[in-house]
Every structure is written in C-alpha cells, then in structure tokens.
C-alpha cells in the first residue's frame, strides 16, 4: 500500500553501549542476556519501541508499530559487555544522530528488567515463585536490581487514575503534583499519559522551584500495557514488572501513600485491590494514607465510588480512605501528614523505609486471575462475607466483566458460551451495574456501540 | 473601600535569612545595605513583589500591587548579617509557612542587585560611569557579583521576542527551546512571559530528558519592567540591571548567540540596537549568530522586518542575520554551529568565554536616549549614512515614536508641542510607518483607538 | 590468671546498622545472613577483630585476641535489615562512643564478603565452582558484590612485597606510591603493613596534592591472613576472598599492572604464580606491566630472583618483567606507560576496563595445592618443560618447602615422614636452595634455629 | 663559581592559567594585577618560590633561592585573563611537565593575596586602613577574597607552636591533630613545619578514616615568614596576610578555638597577644577555648609559661586557658566541648560562624610595633596595671628583646646605641629573663654564641 510511504517517519540506526548496572556484567551474564533477548525478541522490540517514542503526540501503540514497521533491536555480546543495536529506530529519540540520554536510560531499563524476568525469574530458576513470600521476594529482587530501593526518607506518593481524562481533571492532577512537589514528595505512577503524567509534570515544576535536584519520577509498568501507555518523558526511573499482579504489589510496597484520581475500570480494580488488602485484619493498624481526589466537576464520580464501596464492603471500608474534592493543597498536606505517620510506624516496627515488608498481601492477590466462565461462576458476591474477601471477589468480577465487554479474549468467550453467571446479591449487582454504566456515560470506558451487560445474576 | 475586601488575597509575614553571597558580608556592608534599602524602599518593594508573585496568572503589575496593598519589605541588620522581613507577602510564595526556595533565591537576587547598584554604582562612588569602558566595567561588575560569570563552555542563547504573542508563536518558542536544550544549550531572556518564557520551558523538558542537571535559565531585567514582566518560575538566575541600556549590553556580552522571535516595537528596537553594533567596522569579522525565527504563520512578520532593514540599512545588513521559518531543528542546529565558531574565535583571540570583551559597544549605545522634540529633530534618517549610524538613529526614532504613541510622558509632549519633526527620506519614513501600522494590525502594539502617527517628516 | 588484668584494654559495646549494600536486603537475605553468621561465628569474630584493631601498633593477630579476650560479634535480624552487635570491642575503633566511619565500612565489608562466600559460594549453591570459568565467575561475583568493579579508566596498580621489610625498603615503597599517586594511579595491595601499606601512604599524600578526591586504596585479603595482616588504616575498600588462589586471581584480574617490592617466600610464590600465567601461549601478546623494584640496597635481592628465574624458566621469562633499582619516578613513568598500553589493548579487544577477562588463568592455578608428600613427589622440576608448567610446579615446590619449614602442618608431616622427595635437576634445586638461604639471611623468612632443608632431591 | 654546578637542581619552564577567582577578572583588573605584579616582583618571586618548593626537605628559604637562582615569575595579561609564566621553576613542583594541582592552587593564592594587598589595600585606595574597624574590614576583605569564609558549622581549630620542635613533640602534635580530626574538626596553622604541620598530618589520617571529604587545612602566613616557613604540602587553603598583626587577627577571627604547642619566643608572643585581647573587659564572657598542651616531657615548658603569666598578669589570667599534658584525647574532647559553647554564643549573639566580629581587638594590637630604643623606653612593665595593658607591653618587650638578640635590624641598633632601657618591676623582669634563658637552653631560640641580655632594667 502506498499509504506506507506517507506515514513512515525518519529513522536512525545506532549502536548503544549500556550504562548503569548493565555495564558490569560477567561473561556468563552477557551470554544469558543475549540469549534471553533472542527468546523474548518480540516483547523486547515492542517495549523498546514504546520508550523510543516516549512523549510522542499519539498514545496509540499500534500507531507506533505502523509508523516504524522496520524497527528492530538486537542485543549483542562483546567481550567487555553488551551492545544494543537499533535499526530503523524513531529519529525522535535522537539529536543529531546521538540518542537522548534519558531515552537511552529508559531503553537500558527495558533490557535490564526483561532480562531479569527472563533469567532470574524463569520457571526453572529454582526460585520459589508460587508462595506469597516467594512472589514478594521476586518483586523485591526486580526492584532492587532496577536500583529503585534506597534507604532514604519516606517521600514516595503513588498516583493512580485514568490515562484518558478530561482537560479539567488533567490540570487538577498537575496542581496536586505541584503541591506534592513543593512539599518535597516524589511521584510514582503507571507511567502513561493522563493521570499518570499530570502529577509528575506538576511536581517537576515544584521541584525546580524548590531547587530539589535529585527527584524521582518512577514509572512502573508491565509488558501488556507499556506499548499502549508509553512512558511519558518525565519518567526518570522506569521499571517493567513481569505481570499486572506484581506491578500492583510494587506500587503498594514502594509507595508511602496513594492518591487516586478519576479513572475508569482499571482504577476501580486498583481501588478494590488496595482495599481488599488494607481491610484484612493483619493489616489493621498499619498506616497507609489513601486519598481519592479530583476537581469539583469530578465530585459525582467519587460519590458513586464511595456509595458502591459502602454498599458492598460496608461502612468500615470508608475508614481506609478519604475523599477531597477540588483542593490540591489539602490533598498534599494530608498526604504529607500521612507519610509522617508511615515514617513513625516504620521506625517503631523496624521496617525499612524503602519497602513495605509489614503489609500482608495474600497469595490470592498475587496470582493472576483468568476470567473464564468457571472462574466467574465461583465468585460469591453476597453480604455477610468478610469485607476483604468480598473485595477480592469484586475485583475479579470487575476484571471479568471488563474482559467480557472490551477484551478480545473475553468477548469471544461470551459469544461462544453466553453471558457469565455470577452469584450475587441483586442489590450489590445493581450497584456494580450502575457504576459501569456511569463509566460508559462519562466516557471512562470505551465501548463500541451500546453498553450491554455480559453477565447474568444468580441470587 | 469595600472593593478591597474582595480582591485582597491570603498573605504571610516572614523573616528570611539570605544565602548565596548575601551571607558573607562585613559589618560595614550590612550597614550600607540596610541604609541603601531604606533609600530605595519603594523600588525594592516593587521588585520584591514581582518575584513573590512569580508565575501568577496575571502579568499586570498594578494588579499585584492592588492585590497585596499592604505588602512591605524591610532589610534589617544583625550582627551576623542581614535579615529580610516580609509583611503581608503573597501566600503563593510560601508552602506551609516556608518560603519556596527558588522564590527566596529570586528575592535575594533583587536585594543583591539593587544594593550593588545603589552602593557600588552610586554617582559618588568614585567609579567611572561615563566612559564606554567604565560603563562596560559596571555591567561586568554587576554580573560577576550576581555570580553569572563562570569559565564554562560557551552555550548561552539569548532569546528575544514579545511578551504577548499568539498561542502558535508561543508553542513555537517552546519547540525551539526544546531543540536548543536537547543540544545542551542554556537560555537567557528578559524573564517575562511569552517569548521570554517559552524557550525556557522547552529547554527545561529537553534538559531533563538529557539528564543535564546544572542548567541555567537566566532572566535579565531592569527596575522599569520587572514589575510588568514578573520573572517566570523557571528562571533560576535573576539579574536586575540598573537601566535599559545596561540590560541590552548584558545580553550582548553574555550571550553566545541571539534568537529573535516575533515581538512588537520593543523587539524591533532590540534588533536595531544589535545591528547598529554588529555593522560597525570594529566588529566586522566577530562571529555572532543571529537568527530571526517564528512559525509559518509569522513569516509575513519577518518579511516585513527584513524588507525594512534592507531598505534602511542596505543589503549588507542582511549578512548579519538569517531568517528561519517554521523549523525549530534547523534553528537549533545553526545556533549550535554558530556558537562553535564563537568558541573558536574566543580561543583564537584569547577572549573569555563568559564575557564578550571583543565586541565594541559605542558609548552612544550605552547612554540613555530621552525622546524630546529637540532630540528627535536632530535625528538624520537619510540614505548615504553609515549603516550603523543610521541604525542608531532609527532605533532612537522608534523609541521616540513609541513614546509619543503609548507612553504617558511622550503623549503629553505631543499634546503640548505637536508632532515630532523628523528629518528623513520619505521612502525610509514610509517604510517605518508601514512597519508600525503592521504591528498595530497584528496587535503587537497596544493603541487606544485608531493609530495616528505622532510625527511629521521633514525631507 | 592475673596477667589478664594487665593486658586487657578499654572496650566498648555497640550496636551498628550497616550501610552500603547491606542496607537493602530482602527478609530472606537477612535471615540467611544471620544464619550464616552463626555458622561462621569464629571466622567472623576473628576477621572483625582484625579490622577493629586496624592501624594498631602490633601486627600480631594473637596479640589482638589476647588483648580483647571477651570480644564478640553477633549479626541480628530486624524486620528492616540487619544489626551488628559488638561486645567488648576495642575502644580504639571508637570516638566518644561512636564507631569511626571508616572502621565501620571495613566491618561491613567483612560481614558482606564472608556472607557472600557462605551463601552464594556454598557447596550446594548449584553454582559451578570447579571449572575455570566457574571459579572466575565466583571471583567476579564477589568483587562486584563488594562494589569494586566500576567502568572507570584503567588506573589500578597492584603492589606486592613483604610485610616485614627494612626501613629503607619501606620508605622506598612510599616514594613509589607517591610517584604513582602523582600520576593519578590508585593502589591495590594485600592490605597489611610493610610493602602493603607504604605505597598507599605515599599515594595518599600525592592524591591530596593533586586534589584527587575519589581515590581507591583497595585491600584484598583472605580469612587466613587478615588476622595476621590487619588492614592498614588507609584501605578504603576491603575485600575478603574465600581462599589464597581466589585472592591471587582477584589481583591479576583487577590490576592493570603489578609492582613487586622486596619480600619473602610469599612474594616469590606470587611472582611464580604470575609468570606461570603470563608465559602461557594464550596470554602471549597480552600487555601486563610488571616491574620489580626496590632501593639500591635491595639490588642483590632482585639479582638473585632474576638469576633464579632465568635459570629455571629460561631467558624468555625475562621479557615479562623489568627490574628498576632506586628510581621511583622511572617506576611510575613506566607503569603509567604500560597501563596506557593495557587501555589500548582492552579497547582493541573489547575487554572491560574493570576486569581482565582476556587473561587465561588455567584451572591448576585456581585450585588449592596441599603440599603432601605425595603431591610433592609428583612435581617435575626439570629443564625442557614448558616454562609456564615449570613455573606452576616451582610455585608448588616453594609452597611445600615453606610449609615444611615454618607451617605447623608441614613441619609435622616432615617429622612423621621425613623430608619431601622432589624430582628435579640438581642445578635448579641448588638455585632454589640458594634463594631460600638468602631469604633466611636477609631475615625475610622467619626460621626458628638454623635453616635445614626439608627436602631431598631425586634427579 | 663551580659550586653552582653542584647545587642547581632540575627546573621547568611553564605557562599556567589560573583558576578559582583569578579566572573571572575584568580587563581593568587584569591590567592592575599585571602592573601590581611588576611593582612587587621581588616579593612575588620569593613567595612563589616558597610554594613551589613546598614539602621539600629543607626549610631554609635561602637554600631555595640558592638552589634555584634563575627562577622567575611573570604575570601576563591576555584579553581573556591572566597567564603566569614560570622560568627555571623547581622541577619538584611538576609531574611529567605538568604542575601539581595543589601546588598550582597555592601559586594562585600567592598571586591573589599579594594582588589584593597591592591593589585593594594600597595606601591611596581611599580605604580606611588606620581605624580599628577599618583594619578589621581589611582582614575580612582579604579572607573573603581568599574564599575562606563560609557559613558552615564552627569547627576550625587554630594550632600554634614552634616550627623546630623535638621529635617527641612533633609526634604529639600529630596525635592531637588525629584526635581533633576524628571529631570532625579542621585545622588552621601558620603553615610551616613542626607544630604547624603535625596537627594537619594527624587530622588528614583521621579525616580519611572518618570518610570526611571536604576538610580544610588552612595555612595563614605573611610575606616575611612564608619564605622561611614554606607551606607544608597538606595545606589546601593558603592565605598571605599583609603583615604580622593582620595575620594574628586573622587567626583569632577565624579560629573557633586555639591550641598552643611548645614553641619559642614567637609562640610566647602569640600567647601574650591573645591573652592581651581576651583579658579586656569587653571580651569578658566571650567563650574562646584556649588549651596549652604537649607531651609529658614538655610539662616543664608550660609550667614555666604558666608561672610567668601568673606572676605578670595575675591569677585571673589563668581563667582564660587550661593546660593539658600528655593527653591528646582530653585535648580534643575539651576543644570540641569549647567549640560547642562558641557555637551557642554565636547564635545567641547573632554573630556569624565564620568571623568572630564580637571579639574586640584594640587598635594597639592591630598596628605594627617597631622596637626602637624610644619605643622600648616607653614600655611600662609594672604590677598594678590592667592585665591586658600589661600583656600588650609585655608582648612588645618580648618582640624588642627578640629583635635585639637575633634580628639584623635590632642587633644593629643595640650595637649602635647600647642595650634597651626598659622600665619594669625587677621581679617581673627576672621572670622574663628566666623564660628567655630557658628557651635558649631548650634550643627553642637560636642564638649564635652565649645568650647575653640586650636590655637593662630601670625600676
């Protein structure tokens, strides 16, 4: 097709010599890295392209692949270390033929983390990757290898929220980031656009005004979404976790507090994940500042979320979060105060500042959930269960419904076997349904055509 | 008045202990500083308010004074140094009661530079402030005292242009700043909004992506405009020169190259100032990259400027600048190449990297021009004069016409004595007139009512 | 016994929280570290005491143990990491109750390296610790874990020589260190007194004069000798290798050149080790600057060594070293020139700057040699063998003879089974004998009573 | 003479471009610097030679001048700054043709301070150099220009004592320096050998052990003694004050405490200078730790000093100092405790940490004393006077007696006019005489032939 001629963009071929950890490898490690990079070549290519187009206008991953159809990456061995060869790489990552330093850093991060997963966390590594402690250790290992863990003062705020939010909401996330930054707090997000970028952008300006030089803008992603949510150009520490569950665990182990901005179904799942953990008895008493916030116009969104949480998890759940509307300064002040309590608690319990060992994350939150009809049928969404168990099942229900509505796999299953059958209180299920419809109306969930529930409720 | 109730904003009282040069003073210097601050109290108050509202939405200086009517600043002596007392200061400059570090730095810069002018450059200082060398030495002294001069590699690009430009033009200045920043270049501007802010903003992102830590965003201003063009929040080195002429000299002595974005009459004056210097025989052969640039939509603006310069100063004038339209990368590449030549020239002629001693700035460019009817009548705008002499007179004509149209003093003079009488070629004067009308049409010059020339041409 | 009252010195009890690598451990690692520290408690105690008495007048390890009979060290687990408890520790390591920073660093190094060996290099670690590559990887792993490997410019000079040398010789090693330091070279030694301390001391002064801030004074030791040769107080990077052979390999992989000062039998063994490697065909062409040097009075020492090497390994062996007498400047200049060649070679062969992968160290140099009568009888010290094979056997012969003369184990074997029987050329054996006698005469080898060969030659 | 052939040493010609303050000069300043350097050429040459032979074995200044008879230094102007040309400079200051960084720094310090004195403090500078405040301001100005003044925590210990002391005493000064260094204290001395070098040497090792990187080893000298007491190689900040009195004032304004080691007449003068200041009523209550210390063998020395001070200045004088014998740890602990009190006092009185403004130094201690017969005759050494007045006259008496005994000028005066006539209590004068004789006996004062008093006492 001749269209290709029009869309293909300027490219560059380059040889890059890694720094920062990838530069002190043994011969054996280099060989394994090269082999691993062959084994995961497509994955590597996809992730590398995402970081090489970091900051581009479009956030459509397929666009990137279509715009740079001939892009390739190879990891080569040299006696002295590794060399990364890029072919037909996006010219936007280069200046006068030299790769931009920050982009190179992100590229090294991709190779580093994919290699760690492929080599250290491979099935036959002899490592325990099934038990809750084993999985937590894997998360720790990857983060340490990524040089994210340092014994510094607690100051890391995780920000969650949608990647496609309204202009108003985006500006608000910047304002919150700015107020956090003024108070010396660093930012960690999922590293895409929207609510993942705004807080970093605001914090950048605040850190510059406060003359704070060594700020951290940590982006934690996983192979399934990095291509769709390419790291924004502010990220200066990129981590690629092996899967969604390890990414979520990384957030809650690293962050000293979490702020939730308006988002879609993904954000709702994250909220249920976190409350499912915090409401467990073992985690009672563990301080974990959690603030839901947005501009005034987003007040209804959080009212709905709040209502849903009260109805499903009970009033007790509300003790774990607070909702602040339209007040970035109040958000930042409360977060700073909350983190001071986290600090005291860590000292009192001799836990580290850089990794929240004390938080108990049960193994069912660590293992992937595959929403088959069987799995969905085993969910038990009735009042009377312990809030954290209900939260876990609600999260799974959400996950399945989303899949049934928008993910290729899920939609195919629904087509083949009919709607999921979910056992649940009608009231609870109606509340869930109302939430989903609201997301669709507010355009927080992309649906082709009219929204049609993909499940049936069995009381 | 009840209006006060509505407009007054939250304020803070604070005591601040200076850093960075103001912290190692002798007892005598402290006393002189305190005395000087009393003598220039109103000026100090005005400038301090400008930096304390740095980055606020409004750029109207009167607004600031109306919004913070009770603001006051006092410099107090303490045995160990000086203390700055702020009363009813804008709360926006503080975080939880503590002044923002960067704002404090700007505040110290205000005190430092006003004190330097009041003490070191006072009329009875015994210092030669009349000769060309004496004035240049004063400029050097103030800049060194402001810690702007360092023996580092040449990389400072001065950006000139309007403070109220179109959105398109603003975005373009950011893009140019971004491309300059990617190439390791630092930015110096007049430190207000518009074309003074855009390049810094773009460079900030590029410097972050290149992991360049010690970037310089230098803002050079003078007391007459700082209030109107409050330093944008990116500025990390603020310098307040005593007057317009010393500010212009600071630009051309510090900058290793200059980029001119679209602007109004002020920008045109700056162009004539610079060409008037560069076209002198003594400065022939001295490399000084000068690029006029803007987005495609601004092409007519530069065509008009170019036409005017050719017509008035002759074709030779065009050898000193190049016009690049709609191509930020080309602008940055040429500027980088131009600065490499500047570097070679400085080495060859053993001139310093941090101050352009070799450039000859004649004393008539250093002394203020007051546009009285007498002064305007002595201008000689005819072909046949040396280009640099003509440029000097054209700059003065410009200055006077602007004053007659928009400045209170000038307008009063015109009302009292009728239009200025300017001796000049009719063709040249028509060209000048056309340029002014174009500025008015493009809204680059603010005129109440219809534009009416304030001068008559005597051939 | 009342003697205890006289000798016991002031002590301190303290709790210490590690930094620098030991501060970011997983829960599991902390547990294993604590367990390992229990398993190797006596070893840990001995090594810890050595660093806590670093710089003390006496170098007699038993003295330290007698002076601090109640000293104990325990590694405790805390959720947040490890804690080191010291009981009855030498007060000399503390200032007003706080441990000296540098001593704490050495202490952490002891825990770090013993733990690495106990955990990562334990027999059942699944790691290949038998093959040549596997052993080299173990050396690499321990050094990287000790943060010794950095991709900086080649500048590390290994200095070998005796720990009890004459005052003249000691002053000379300082002068050589000074000249090396003036030329920006860093020092690596066995970290005890004498020739291990002098070069560091000289380099310290030179580095200070050259305003070189980040200098490395690396001490590489092993558990068997650290107690006897406690790290001198200048060492700022201490590494404890698991055994003598890995320590020797660490020297030749890390160092960009080696200087040999006068020493005893140990030094002779080191020379034979290195020549045995360098004379192999695979290592031909690999630049490795090797200089034997001492003050004028030590000329006879090197003449003897030289004569012995020529006679045993042949004239070819002399191509690998040069002898410089009484000229520290020449030594430093030649070493600097030699390292420049090493640098070029590493670049040409894409080998790393920080680890000499290209050097082939055969497995028989990596595995410990235990000098039993059987082992000694298999040595083959005849002309006609390849120089590097002969060097290997000569080194073993040396090792065995030393053991038979001065080490408890060896002396007992000789007593029980009579002298070793060594197969060798009479000429070669006489030469060896002459060398040993010279060492005794020059007091480089401590013998109780008269020297009596512990071997018989079988031609 | 052929002797020249034997003594002349290797030399180097070099061009050096200054850093650190001398690199950002105006054209005018460069011209004045060059002119000044011509005017003070011999002085510059002498001081430069002293630093270029820094650390040489011999401390005899004449030796240096004889060893490098053709040495010359010229300061040249270049548009971009100054260039220092060295001809026939001692090769020991160079490594392979490049000047040692630290030596270059000392050389720049020489040019910087001599130029400051010649330009800023010249008689016709319009500056008040006669009043007490004016002189203090000159001291402050020179020190600030030398970049010695920083707003850091108080930690500077001035060490006084003889440059030719016994081996025992020298070792003791090192031990004291070591203990000071372990406690984070920096050292300031007169920058020659002996007690001026030992404390720095000890502190260097301690700072290295404590991993303290930015240590200050300040040497304060003046043109009359720098040649005789060439800066030891540890000094990393050299200041050349214009005369003895300003040098003494620099010590007491900069230091947060003073330690006096055994010394000769010069040290005695320094003690009388300091006590003369501290005993004034205005300085009562101002904390100023002052410790006299030496090894056990030096106890008699301090007993004698103590006795003399009690007898002359009265028991009250002893409240201002304490004597510690043979206990470096106690010295360091008390000094650290004393400096903590100084810190509190500075905060309470809002005095700066970096310059002791609160200390009143009367003008008679600031102006040079020339020991003519007339001046000596006006001294009034009787009991009943205020201690500080008596201390001032005693210091002058000392100064004159020393001059009469060993200085060329003074000896000539005595020869011409007979012994000085001093009005004083016989007891006090006997005590003084006893002290002088003791100095001679202990070889702390160099006398050719037998000691013969150069004065007569008039009661």
Give me the residue spans of the domains in chain B: 3-119, 152-363, 369-458
Is the Cβ pair B233, A208 closer than 8 Å? Answer: yes
Distances (CA, A) of A91 to A8, A53, A105, A316: 11, 9, 16, 54
Task: Give the pairing of strands C72-78 and C81-90.
Answer: antiparallel
Of D144, D346, D358, the CB nearest to B24: D144
pLDDT grade for D155, boundaries at 50, 70 and 90: very high
**Distance, CA of C293 to CA of C326 (rounded, Å):** 7
Contact at 8 Å (CB) between C260 and C162?
Answer: no
- What secondary structure does DSSP assign to D139-184, as a single string? HHHHHHHTT------S-EEEEE--SS--HHHHHHHHHHHHHHHHTT
- Write down the pLDDT at residue C79: 63
Q: How far is C109 from chain A (nearest CA, A)?
A: 18
Interface probe for D, chosen from B21, B76, B80, B136 (most Cβ of D below 10 Å), is B80
Q: How far is A130 from chain C (nearest CA, A)?
A: 15
Q: How far is D86 from chain B (nearest CA, A)?
A: 20
**Distance, CA of D146 to CA of D109 (rounded, Å):** 7
CATH of domain B152-363: 3.40.50.450
Please check whether residue D417 touches B, CB under 8 A: no
Closest CA to D58 of D22, D9, D105: D9
Is the Cβ pair A151, C23 closer than 8 Å? Answer: yes
Please check whether residue A32 touches C, CB under 8 A: no
pLDDT grade for B218, boundaries at 50, 70 and 90: very high
Is the Cβ pair C28, A141 closer than 8 Å? Answer: no
- Write down the pLDDT at residue C96: 92
Q: Are there at least 3 beta-carbon pairs closer than 8 Å between C and A?
A: yes
- Write down the pLDDT at residue D2: 38
Q: Which residues contact C195 (CB under 8 A, 6 or more apart)?
A: C159, C160, C161, C162, C163, C165, C169, C170, C173, C189, C261, C262, C263
Q: Which residues contact D174 (CB under 8 A, 6 or more apart)?
A: D198, D199, D201, D202
Contacts with A105 from chain B: Cβ below 8 Å: 211
Which residue has 């546009």 as its token pair? Answer: B371
Instruction: Give the 3-state secondary structure of residue A354.
Output: coil
- What secondary structure does DSSP assign to D199-256, as a single string? HHHHHHHHHHHTT--S--EEEEE-HHHHTTSPPPTT-SEEEE-SSHHHHHHHHHHH-S
Phi-psi region of D161 (alpha: psi -120 to 50; beta: other; left: phi over 0): left
pLDDT grade for B98, boundaries at 50, 70 and 90: very high
Contacts with D209 from chain C: Cβ below 8 Å: 55, 100-103, 233
Q: Which residues contact A223 (CB under 8 A, 6 or more apart)?
A: A43, A46, A47, A114, A240, A242
* pLDDT tens sequence across D388-410: 889 989 988 888 887 887 777 88
> Hey, which chains touch A, using 3+ CB pairs under 8 Å?
B, C
Is the Cβ pair D349, B79 closer than 8 Å? Answer: yes
**Distance, CA of C75 to CA of D184 (rounded, Å):** 29
Contact at 8 Å (CB) between B50 and B238?
Answer: no
Whether pLDDT at D109 is above 70: yes
Taking 70 as the pLDDT cut, the residues of chain C under it are 1-8, 20-21, 56-62, 79-80, 446-449
Of A95, A213, A234, the CB nearest to B182: A95
Q: How far is D146 from chain B (nearest CA, A)?
A: 12
- Write down the pLDDT at residue D7: 52
Domains B3-119 and B152-363 share a fold: no
Please check whether residue B209 touches A, CB under 8 A: yes
Q: Tell me which chain C residue has its CA closest to the CA of residue A356.
A: C80
Whether pLDDT at B239 is above 80: yes
- Write down the pLDDT at residue D1: 36
Q: What is the pTM of this model?
A: 0.89
Contacts with A55 from chain B: Cβ below 8 Å: 209
Q: Which two tokens stand for residue A214?
A: 């060594």
Q: Of A136-140, B403-407, C41-45, D421-425, which range is least confident?
A: B403-407
- Write down the pLDDT at residue D13: 93
Whether pLDDT at B272 is above 80: yes
D25 or A88, higher pLDDT: A88
pLDDT grade for B79, boundaries at 50, 70 and 90: low
Q: Tell me which chain A residue has its CA closest to the CA of residue B101.
A: A210
Per DSSP, C230 falls in state: P
Q: How far is C210 from chain D (nearest CA, A)?
A: 5
- Write down the pLDDT at residue A225: 82
Query: In this structure, which CATH number among 3.30.420.10, 3.40.50.450, 3.40.50.300, 1.20.1260.10 belongs to the domain C138-363?
Result: 3.40.50.450
* pLDDT tens sequence across B276-308: 999 999 999 999 999 999 999 999 999 999 999
B249 or A164, higher pLDDT: B249
Of D101, D204, D333, the CB nearest to C210: D101
Whether pLDDT at D281 is above 60: yes
pLDDT grade for D34, boundaries at 50, 70 and 90: confident
Contact at 8 Å (CB) between A176 and A293?
Answer: yes
- Write down the pLDDT at residue A20: 64
Q: Which residues contact D284 (CB under 8 A, 6 or more apart)?
A: none
D4 or C218, higher pLDDT: C218
Q: Tell me which chain A residue has its CA closest to the CA of residue C354.
A: A24
Closest CA to C294 of C159, C437, C394, C116: C159
CATH architecture of the domain with residue range C3-119 = 2-Layer Sandwich (3.30)
Of C133, C151, C351, the CB nearest to A23: C151
B72 CA to centre of own chain? 26
* pLDDT tens sequence across B42-64: 999 999 999 998 876 544 556 77
Contacts with A358 from chain C: Cβ below 8 Å: 79
Contact at 8 Å (CB) between A158 and A185?
Answer: no
Whether pLDDT at B437 is above 70: yes
Is the Cβ pair A210, B234 closer than 8 Å? Answer: no
> Hey, which chains touch C, using 3+ CB pairs under 8 Å?
A, D
- CB contacts < 8 Å between A and C, how many? 63
Kindly state the percentage of chain B with pLDDT values over 90. Answer: 55
Radius of gyration of chain D (CA): 22
Contacts with B236 from chain A: Cβ below 8 Å: 208, 211
Of B26, B140, B354, the CB nearest to D140: B26
- Write down the pLDDT at residue B456: 87
Is domain D151-363 in CATH 3.90.380.10, yes or no? Answer: no
Span B414-420, mean pLDDT? 92
- Write down the pLDDT at residue B5: 44
Per DSSP, D194 falls in state: G
> Hey, which chains touch B, using 3+ CB pairs under 8 Å?
A, D
Please check whether residue C307 touches A, CB under 8 A: no
How does pLDDT run along chain A (459 residues), one tens digit per residue? 333 444 567 899 999 988 766 778 888 888 888 888 888 899 999 999 999 988 765 445 567 778 899 999 998 877 667 889 999 999 999 999 999 999 999 999 999 999 899 888 988 878 889 999 999 999 999 999 999 998 889 999 999 999 889 999 999 999 999 999 999 999 999 988 899 999 999 999 899 999 988 899 999 999 878 877 788 888 999 999 999 899 999 999 999 999 999 998 889 889 999 999 999 999 999 999 999 999 999 999 999 999 999 999 989 889 999 999 999 999 999 999 999 999 999 988 888 899 999 999 999 899 888 889 999 999 999 988 888 889 989 988 888 887 887 777 888 899 999 999 999 998 888 888 888 888 888 888 766 667 788 888 887
Contacts with A137 from chain C: Cβ below 8 Å: 26-28
Q: Tell me which chain B residue has its CA closest to the CA of residue D136.
A: B26
> Hey, which chains touch D, using 3+ CB pairs under 8 Å?
B, C
Contact at 8 Å (CB) between D191 and D247?
Answer: no
- What secondary structure does DSSP assign to C371-437, as a single string? --HHHHHT-EE-TTS-HHHHHHHHHHHHHHHHHHHH-HHHHHHHHHH-SEEEEE-HHHHHHHHHHHH
Q: Tell me which chain A residue has its CA closest to the CA of residue C350.
A: A80
Contacts with B105 from chain A: Cβ below 8 Å: 211
Of D26, D141, D151, the CB nearest to B140: D26
* pLDDT tens sequence across B310-319: 999 989 889 9
Contact at 8 Å (CB) between B121 and B127?
Answer: yes
Its ipTM equals: 0.86
- Write down the pLDDT at residue B282: 93
Of D19, D80, D351, the CB nearest to B79: D351
Is the Cβ pair A27, C357 closer than 8 Å? Answer: yes
Is the Cβ pair D211, C182 closer than 8 Å? Answer: no
* pLDDT tens sequence across B357-400: 999 999 989 988 888 999 999 999 998 888 888 998 998 888 88
Mean pLDDT value across chain B: 89
Is the Cβ pair D151, B351 closer than 8 Å? Answer: no
């Amino acid at each position: 097709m001749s269209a290709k001629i029009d869309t293909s963009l300027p490219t560059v071929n380059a040889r890059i010599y890694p720094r920062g950890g990838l530069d002190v490898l043994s011969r054996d490690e280099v060989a394994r890295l090269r082999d691993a990079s062959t084994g995961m070549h497509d994955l590597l290519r996809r992730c590398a392209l995402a970081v090489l187009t970091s900051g581009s206008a479009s956030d459509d991953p397929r666009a990137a692949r279509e715009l740079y159809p001939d892009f390739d990456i190879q990891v080569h061995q040299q006696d002295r270390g590794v060399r990364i060869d890029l072919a037909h790489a996006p010219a936007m990552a280069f200046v006068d033929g030299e790769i931009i330093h920050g982009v190179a850093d992100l590229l090294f991060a991709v190779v580093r983390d994919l290699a760690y997963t492929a080599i250290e966390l491979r099935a036959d590594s002899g490592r325990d990757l099934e038990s809750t402690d084993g999985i937590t250790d894997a998360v720790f290992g990857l983060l340490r290898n990524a040089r994210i863990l340092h014994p510094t003062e607690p100051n890391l705020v995780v920000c969650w929220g949608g990647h496609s939010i309204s202009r108003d909401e985006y500006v608000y996330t910047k304002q919150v980031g700015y107020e956090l930054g003024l108070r010396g707090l660093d930012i960690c997000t999922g590293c895409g656009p929207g609510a993942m970028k705004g807080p970093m952008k605001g914090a950048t300006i605040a850190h510059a005004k406060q003359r704070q030089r060594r700020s951290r803008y940590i982006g934690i992603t996983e192979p399934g979404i990095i291509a769709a949510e390419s790291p924004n150009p502010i990220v200066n520490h990129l981590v690629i976790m092996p899967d969604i569950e390890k990414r979520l665990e990384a957030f809650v182990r690293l962050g000293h507090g979490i702020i939730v901005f308006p988002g879609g179904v993904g954000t709702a799942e994250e909220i249920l994940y976190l409350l499912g953990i915090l409401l467990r008895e073992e985690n009672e008493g563990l301080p974990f500042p959690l603030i839901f916030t947005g501009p005034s116009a987003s007040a209804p969104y959080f009212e709905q979320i709040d209502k849903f949480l009260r109805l499903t998890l009970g009033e007790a759940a509300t003790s774990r979060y607070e909702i602040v509307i339209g007040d970035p300064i109040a958000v930042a002040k409360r977060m700073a105060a909350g983190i001071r309590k986290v600090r005291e608690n860590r000292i009192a319990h001799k836990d580290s500042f850089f990794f929240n060992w004390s938080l108990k994350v049960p193994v069912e939150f660590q293992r992937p959930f595959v929403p088959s009809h069987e799995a969905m049928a085993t969910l038990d969404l009735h009042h009377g269960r312990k809030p954290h168990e209900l939260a876990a099942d609600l999260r799974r229900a959400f996950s399945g419904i989303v899949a049934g509505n928008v993910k290729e796999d899920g939609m195919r299953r629904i087509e083949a076997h009919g709607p999921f059958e979910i056992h649940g209180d009608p009231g609870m299920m109606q509340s869930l349904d109302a939430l989903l419809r609201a997301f669709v109306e507010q355009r927080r969930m992309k649906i082709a055509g009219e929204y049609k529930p993909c499940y049936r409720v069995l009381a």
